[in-house]
Amino acid sequence: MDLSWMAWTAPTAVFFSAIGTILALMAALYFLRPDGAEPRPGLFFGLATTRGDRLFISLLGSAFIHLAWLGATGYDLKWAAVISFVYAAIVFRWG
C-alpha cells in the first residue's frame, strides 16, 4: 500500500506511535484498574478529574508549552519537553 501521500517522517511516526501506545496503555489500565476511571477531586480549580482527563490535560498543556516555547524563546525545544514532563507529573499526581 502506497502511503507516500501521507508524507510520513521518522519523528512524526515516533510521535504518533507514542500517543497510540499511551492510549493503548490507558485502555489496558481501564480493564486492570477501573477505579482510576472514577473522577477524583484535584487541586487545580477544584476540578474533579478521571485518569483520562488528566492525560488529556497533560497532552494539551504540553502542546501549548511547546508552542509557547517556540513562539517566545529561541532556546532548544528539549527544555520545553522537560517542562512538559514535570507539568504532566504534577497533573497526574495532584491534578
Partner 1 sequence: MQKTHDHKALWLVAPALLLVAFTAVIPLMTVVNYSVQDTFGNNQFFWVGTEWYREILRSDRFHAAFLRQIMFSATILAIEIPLGLAIALSMPKKGLGVSVCLVLMALPLLIPWNVVGTIWQIFARVDIGLLGHTLNGLGIDFNYTQNAGAAWATLIIMDVWHWTSLVVLLCYAGLVAIPPAYYQAARIDGASRWAVFRYIELPKMSRVLLIAVLLRFMDSFMIYTEPFVVTGGGPGNATTFLSVDLVKMAIGQFDLGPAAAMSVIYFLIVILVSWAFYTIMTREDFEPSGGAR
In the list 14, 28, 39, 94, the residue contacting partner 1 (rule: CB under 8 A) is 39
Q: Is 32 in the site for partner 1 (CB under 8 A)?
A: no
- What 3-state class would DSSP assign to 23? helix
Residues in contact with 57: Cβ distance below 8 Å, sequence separation at least 6, in sequence order? 49, 91, 95
Which grid coordinates are listed for 23? Answer: 492510549
Rounded CA gap, 38 and 6, in Å? Answer: 38
In the list 24, 25, 34, 82, the residue contacting partner 1 (rule: CB under 8 A) is 34
Nearer to partner 1 by Cβ, of 8 and 85: the residue is 8
8-state DSSP, 30: H
In the list 1, 32, 38, 78, the residue contacting partner 1 (rule: CB under 8 A) is 38
Residue count at the site for partner 1 (CB under 8 A)?
Answer: 28
- What 3-state class would DSSP assign to 73? coil
Footprint of partner 1 on this chain (CB under 8 A)? Answer: 4-9, 11-12, 15-16, 31, 34, 37-39, 41, 45-48, 56, 60, 63-64, 67, 70-71, 77
